[in-house]
Structure 1
Amino acid sequence: MLGAAFGLGAIAMGLPAWAGSLIVACSVLAGAVLRLIVPGEGDNLLAVRSRRTDAVISGVLGLALGVVAVSVAVQWIMGRQ
């Protein structure tokens, strides 16, 4: 959540949208990795999905966000030259 807030705050402060989106994508990917690594003690009581499902969904979302951000960045850089 903090990474997403930081990315959106960076966009609000004047950073290009692709840079803020890349920060958000990295934070989502980091969340997916942490979901796999950190042991869940007591998450069975409220669990609807498995840890692996959460990590895969977050990983795909973060990867898609990152690909879009990088493609926009490339277009932005090429347009500047």
Structure 2
Amino acid sequence: MQKYKIKFEEKVTLEHEVIVEIPEEISINDICNCIEQKCQRIYDISDYIREFNGRQIDFTEDTCGETEMVVESFRKCKE
């Protein structure tokens, strides 16, 4: 039998949905750009919505998503 150590990266893609209420004079494109550029975590979204004088009404978190496993390297273990 041979023994190997495998290093891999797991990439998970999750799709979430959020319902927001924003003032008439605010563009939804500005909100979307802010989410893409500034948010590091899904929990930051409501804070950024408030900066636009809006509010987050509902949030649905994807818990299954799609997973991709990518092997980065492997090496044979010494006996």
Is the helix fraction higher in 1 or 2? 1
TM-score, normalised to structure 2, is 0.24
TM-score, normalised to structure 1, is 0.24
Tell which has more relative contact order, 1 or 2 (C-alpha 8 A, sep 6+). Answer: 2
Is the strand fraction higher in 1 or 2? 2
- Structure 1 or 2, whichever has the larger Rg, is 2
